[in-house]
Amino acid sequence: MTSRRLAGAVALVTGASSGIGAAAARRLAGAGARVFLSGRDPERLAAVAAASGGTAIPCDLTDPERTKALAGRVLDCAGRVDILVNNAGQGFAGPLTGMTDAQIQALVAANLTAPMLLARAVLPGMLDRGSGRLGFVGSIAGRLGVREEAVYAGTKAGLSVFADSLRKETTGRGIVVTELVPAVVDTPFFARRGRPYPRRRPRPVPAERAADALLTGMLTGRHEVCLPRWMVLPIAVRATLPATYRRLADRFG
């Protein structure tokens, strides 16, 4: 990242109490940005904010009204948002039939509705200024589908198409829309979803590496960043040879 390009910028990072969000907040603050951090864990969020010099705003993004209030508070405090990192998300591992209504609604709200609401809130100012950067943390699950993660994968697939559609909507108006498509990141995500990561490949990557990949992509105008890079291969196979991909996926998981 280039400090000169971030100095004085106003950034809002969601899911910033740990993992990718916390790493992104530290990187942005270290490069001179004014950072607002949002997360569900007030104590951990406050610790990250104190270490980075940012402003902590605890918020439960499963509540649309609180999500809109978060955006309003940041805009009231800073007057604008130049960089939005939509990182917050929830997971669930298990069969669809084992999910409650509340669990399904929470995943859709946090993973899909909240990023839409936040992007809608900050985009008008970005368009007026002719500049802005929107980052979305997707998932390989949203591109390939994962057994017993149907709702999670569905929300991430929706987020991916939303980001791509928003990119087309804002083409030529100074807006950069970047999606990070990680396979596995070493964060508390798997513990929170109720099931540890069971595979040897792909190996989990550090949260700092994921945050750097996303922020670098946003600063250099990339539309999509796969992590690790070789994940573009199964995505390409599924897109070009869907029947072959499904046979392989059914056989090898």
Q: Work out the average pLDDT over 24-51.
A: 97
Helix (H) or strand (E) holding 149: none
pLDDT the model gives residue 150: 96
SS (H, E, C) 96-131: HHHCCHHHHHHHHHHHHHHHHHHHHHHHHHHHHHCC
CATH code of the domain containing 82: 3.40.50.720
Collapsing DSSP to helix, strand or coil, 95 comes out as coil
pLDDT the model gives residue 249: 77
Q: Work out the average pLDDT over 77-96.
A: 96
pLDDT the model gives residue 198: 61
Side-chain half-sphere of 182: how many Cα atoms within 13 Å? 22
Domain tally for the chain?
A: 1
Alpha-carbon torsion (227, 232, 237, 242), positive or negative: positive
Which residue among the candidates 136, 152, 189, 245 is catalytic per the annotation? 152
Give the angle 217-136-45 at the CA atoms, nearest 5°. Answer: 105
SS (H, E, C) 179-239: EEEECCEECCHHHHHCCCCCCCCCCCEEHHHHHHHHHHHHHHCCCEEEECHHHHHHHHHHH
pLDDT the model gives residue 196: 63
Whether the Cβ atoms of residue 4 and residue 27 lie closer than 8 Å to each other: no
Is residue 245 part of the annotated active site? The answer reads: no
**89 is in which domain, residue-wise?**
3-252
pTM score, whole prediction: 0.90
